[in-house]
């Protein structure tokens, strides 16, 4: 099995690591676009052009599945990519609104994501389908991907954001950007059992199994 993993920056490495654990015998290749990160503050046309250009090595017909390990790239480009390459299997990553809706007891959740993801049609559809009964808090995380990418984590800002979510009653916090996976433990520590922290690494492995029956 041959899998291609793309992300705008270092976030995809966490997905590639999870896939390696699930499929130790698979060939898993990763590509990122560090020079153009973050994608979350770019226009849709820019995101598509950058994503399409970056994944060219994966479009040679030899990859069983291409994983867009980037919420922003998924939200903006995956429908167009599937239309343009109908014989290629793609898996995208989206904020786990459906899962959060099942887990929450307070009906209040926090979604930490980029501006591009939060303003996308795909995200709006997720909220309409699974989150109409929820109070969904979307804090300003617009600088997080850049800070994580450049190893400049501002703990005070992260702490303020997560504590504010918990104080407002959020008992589930969705990590809607793969960059944020690298600070999941920090976020969980700050939440201090007041909220469940969720991200889609395990779900991606399950989806690969479904698509190629392994």
* Dist. CA 120–CA 200, nearest whole Å: 19
* Dist. CA 33–CA 191, nearest whole Å: 31
Specify whether 112 is catalytic.
no
Specify whether 177 is catalytic.
yes
DSSP-assigned states of every residue in 127-187 = HHHH-TTSEEE----TTHHHHHHTT---HHHHHHHHHHHHHTT--EEEE-SGGGGGGHHHH
Catalytic residue among 70, 112, 141, 166: 70
Catalytic residue among 112, 141, 166, 177: 177
Residue owning tokens 């290629």: 88
Q: What's the token pair of residue 141?
A: 């995380």
Catalytic residue positions?
70, 177
């Amino acid at each position: 099995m041959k899998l291609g993993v793309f992300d705008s920056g270092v976030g995809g490495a966490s997905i590639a690591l999870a896939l390696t654990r699930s499929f130790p015998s698979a060939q898993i290749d990763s590509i990122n676009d560090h020079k153009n990160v973050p994608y979350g503050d770019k226009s849709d046309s820019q995101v598509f052009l950058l994503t399409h250009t970056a994944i060219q090595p994966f479009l040679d017909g030899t990859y069983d599945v291409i994983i867009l390990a980037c919420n922003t790239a998924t939200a903006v480009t995956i429908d167009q990519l599937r239309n343009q390459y109908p014989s290629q299997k793609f898996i995208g990553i989206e904020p786990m609104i459906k899962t959060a809706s099942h887990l929450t007891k307070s009906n209040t959740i926090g979604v930490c994501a980029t501006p591009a993801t939060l303003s996308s049609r795909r995200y709006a559809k997720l909220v309409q389908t699974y989150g109409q009964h929820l109070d969904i808090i979307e804090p300003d995380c617009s600088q997080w991907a850049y800070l994580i990418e450049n190893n400049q984590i501002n703990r005070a800002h992260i702490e303020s954001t997560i504590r504010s979510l918990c104080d407002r009653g959020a008992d589930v916090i969705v990590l809607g950007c793969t960059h944020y996976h690298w600070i999941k433990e920090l976020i969980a520590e700050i939440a201090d059992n007041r909220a469940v922290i969720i991200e889609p690494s395990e779900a991606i492995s399950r989806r690969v199994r479904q698509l190629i029956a392994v």
